[in-house]
Amino acid sequence: MHPSMFPQNDDPHSTLSGTAIDAYTYSEITHKRIAVRTQRTTAPIEEDFHQQPPSQLQRRPALPLEQAKNAQRKVASVTKCKFCEGLHWTTDCTLFATLTARRDRVYYLRKCERCLTPNNHLVTACPAKIICFYCKRANRTAEMTKHHSAFCVYQFKM
């Protein structure tokens, strides 16, 4: 069938019924809209004095994988460890790596074992709504609200 056999409907807001003619018209209108958008985006842009020369718009060479990982670690380690005050996540502490060492350190610093804040409440009455990252990931819904991620018995050794 030739397109000239169908009535032309250039109104983009017209309501379509389920007929083949309307489907063809809808397809034709869609293609026209795409063409208009393409013309808008590919139109030449007037040069602005703020625009950088093409040599500066080139992509930087990709960093080697190890450098990229180190850069990501530096950005991620903005938080301080609650055990040793080091610049790493509390769960990544190597100075207090075992659960026993961590528990002893928390008692020494007089902090709550669940929220790791100064201990002015009992662990059983801790108001914090802390969820263990490791238990949540493993879908252990019963255990995930009972301890801090740094004290996960499924993740760390005693």
Mean pLDDT of 25-48: 59
Token pair recorded at residue 124: 């059983």
Nearest to 42 by CA among 52, 50, 31, 34: 34
| Rounded average pLDDT over 12-20 | 50
CB 114 within 8 A of CB 123: yes
What pLDDT shows up at residue 49?
Answer: 45
pLDDT in tens, 128-140: 888 898 988 888 8
The domains of the chain are located at 3-42, 77-151
pLDDT of 153:
87
Cβ-proximal residues to 113 (8 Å cutoff; 6+ apart), any chain: 103, 106, 123, 147, 148, 151
pLDDT level of residue 121 (50, 70, 90 thresholds)? confident
The helix/strand count (H/E) of the chain reads as: 4, 0
Residue 31 scores a pLDDT above 80 = no
- Distances from the Cα of 22 to the Cαs of 4, 8, 12, in angstroms? 14, 10, 12
Specify the amino acid at residue 135: C
Kindly state the average pLDDT of the residues 9-22: 52
12, pLDDT greater than 60: no
**Three-class SS of residue 47?**
coil
Say which DSSP state 90 is in: G
Average pLDDT, stretch 22-36?
A: 64
User: What pLDDT score does 77 carry?
Assistant: 43
d(CA 151, CA 146): 10
Render pLDDT for 47-86 as a digit per residue (tens, 0 to 9): 444 555 555 555 555 556 666 666 655 555 468 999 999 9
| pLDDT, position 106 | 92
pLDDT of 16 higher than 50: no
Q: Amino acid letter at 78?
A: V
Question: How many residues are listed for the chain in this entry?
Answer: 158
Mean of per-residue pLDDT scores for the chain: 72
High-pLDDT (> 70) share of the chain, %: 51
**What is the amino acid identity at position 156?**
F
